[in-house]
Amino acid sequence: MKLKRIIIVVLILSLMSALFSGCNFSKDDTVTQIKIGVTLYDQYDTYLGQLMDSFNEFVTESRKNGNDIIVSVYDASNSQTKQNDQVKEMIEAGCQVICVNLVDRTDPSIIIDMARKAEVPIIFFNRELVESDLMQWEKLYYVGADAFESGIMQGELAAEAIKRDKRIDKNGDGVIQYLVIEGEAGHQDAILRTEYAVDTLIEAGIKVDKEGSAIANWSREQAQAKVAQYINEGGEDLEVIFANNDDMALGAIDAYKKANIELTKRPVIYGIDGTREGLQALVSGNMAGTVYNDKEGQAKALYELAYDLATHTDISDVGLTDAKYIRLPYTKVTIENVYDYLK
Ligand code: GAL
């Protein structure tokens, strides 16, 4: 009789611990279901959409290997307040880890406070918060790339082409007239890509003349409108366009096509990202080069780190720098190697 009572108490206790442990299952116990939350600053962003396609492929693969994984993806629609609420909701829903693509990279404190209280690790990605914020708690991580590297590569691509092909200096004045189309103001990638692309061109010994810069918030449509306005105002003397991403480079190309300006009379146009559409524009000769922003590498790192954190697996071999960062390298893409990326 006494033994029966003990068995019942033990059973009740283990049931209660299973019910209340929520995110705290350890891998050695049974993590029956892995719940990963993701919130994107804007679901219509082309690059992030393709990064998430790749992330979902890793999840599908993992399910085939027998893992029971639920991934909830939220769109913050450019509102930090909305994103804060989404993180709260994901914590309450029992997500064991949350991947946050911050709306405002200078304003992560509410998210950090909520996560710390609930003991739910956060992996920030693509939109980099400042280091002091990332250091606020040990279970905060960042997955992305080193933005300055892409600026240098974009500048090198242009410098190599200008030295090789004298026709790029269309008016033959020995000076390259250029325009920069910038992403969002305050975004680390926009600031550093702009600065390093131009500096690299100058350091390569090329004389430059800045014809202007336009903010187009990563958007193809906004870039098209800005460049169309430029063309209308008689700015057809441009020789190089640096766009902070492929979508804006494509917008510039759209503007030249609409204005019926033939390829040889257009500036050479460079992008960054290597999106599917960006790579196609290289193949068709409309874009001179891009810098590959390794979405598959970042998606893999994001997925693996999320999986390990959710299952309390040792993360010492996922390649973290300073126990916090995973940064994937950029690579240059031109017509010579574009097919390697289209595979
Ligand atoms: C950049 C990318 C842009 C845009 C932005 C959003 O890394 O090059 O295309 O996606 O992130 O934060």
Q: How far apart are CA 267 and CA 238, in angstroms?
A: 6
Band (pLDDT 50/70/90 cuts) for residue 343 is: confident
Cα 11-13-17 angle, rounded to 5 deg: 120
φ, ψ at 315 (rounded to 5°): -100, 15
- Tens of pLDDT, residues 263-298: 999 999 999 999 999 999 999 999 999 999 999 999
Half-sphere exposure of 322 (CA within 13 A, CB side): 10
Three-state SS at 339:
helix
Which atom from ligand 1 is nearest to the alpha carbon of 45? 10
Q: Over 60: is that where the pLDDT of 221 sits?
A: yes
Looking at residue 52, what is its pLDDT? 98
- What average pLDDT does range 75-102 have in this prediction? 98
pLDDT at 165: 97
Are 197 and 272 within 8 A, CB to CB? Answer: no
Predicted local confidence at residue 9, as pLDDT: 38
Specify the range with the lowest mean pLDDT, choosing from 56-70, 195-209, 231-245, 307-321: 231-245
List the residue whose alpha carbon is closest to atom 11 of ligand 1.
126
Is it the case that residue 80 has pLDDT exceeding 70? yes
Q: Which of 85, 91, 89 is nearest to 121 (CA)?
A: 91
Please write the tens of the pLDDT for every residue from 103-136: 999 999 999 999 999 999 999 999 999 999 999 9
| Percentage with pLDDT > 90 across the chain | 88
User: Residue 27: pLDDT band by 50, 70, 90 thresholds?
Assistant: very low
Closest residue CA from atom 10 of ligand 1: 47
46 C-alpha vs ligand 1 centroid, how far in Å? Answer: 8
CA 190–ligand 1 middle distance (angstroms): 9
- Position 26 scores a pLDDT of 38
| DSSP summary character for residue 187 | -
- For 315, the token pair is 């993360």
Q: What is the pLDDT of residue 129?
A: 97
Residue 234: per-residue pLDDT: 79
Mutational test site, ligand 1, from 43, 245, 247, max ligand atoms within 8 Å of CB: 245
Q: How much of the chain exceeds pLDDT 70, in percent?
A: 91
Q: Residue 273 has what DSSP assignment?
A: B
Q: What is the pLDDT, as a whole number, of residue 169?
A: 97
In the predicted model, is pLDDT for residue 31 greater than 80?
A: no
> What does the block give as tokens for 223?
């870039």
Does ligand 1 come within 6 angstroms of the Cβ of 48? Answer: yes
C-alpha to C-alpha distance for 274 and 291, rounded to whole angstroms:
6
272 Cβ below 6 A of ligand 1:
yes
pLDDT digit string, tens, across residues 171-192: 999 999 999 999 999 999 999 9
CB 336 within 8 A of CB 151: no
Q: Alpha-carbon distance 126 to 298, whole Å?
A: 9
Average pLDDT over residues 292-316: 97
The residue to mutate among 50, 51, 189, having the most atoms of ligand 1 within 8 angstroms of its beta carbon, is 189
Residue 235: band (very low, low, confident or very high) from pLDDT cuts 50, 70, 90: confident
Q: How far apart are CA 126 and CA 234, in angstroms?
A: 37
The better pLDDT of the pair 284, 14 is held by: 284
Average pLDDT over residues 30-35: 83
- Range with lowest mean pLDDT among 16-30, 151-165, 238-252: 16-30
- For the whole prediction, is pTM greater than 0.85? yes
Q: What is the mean pLDDT of the chain?
A: 92
Q: Which atom of ligand 1 is nearest to the CA of 46?
A: 10
Q: Are 121 and 138 in contact (CB under 8 A)?
A: no
Q: Is the pLDDT of residue 16 over 60?
A: no
- Model confidence at 5: pLDDT above 70: no
Do residues 230 and 216 touch, judged by C-beta distance below 8 A?
Answer: no
Element (H, E) at 103: none
Beta bridge partners of 268: 240
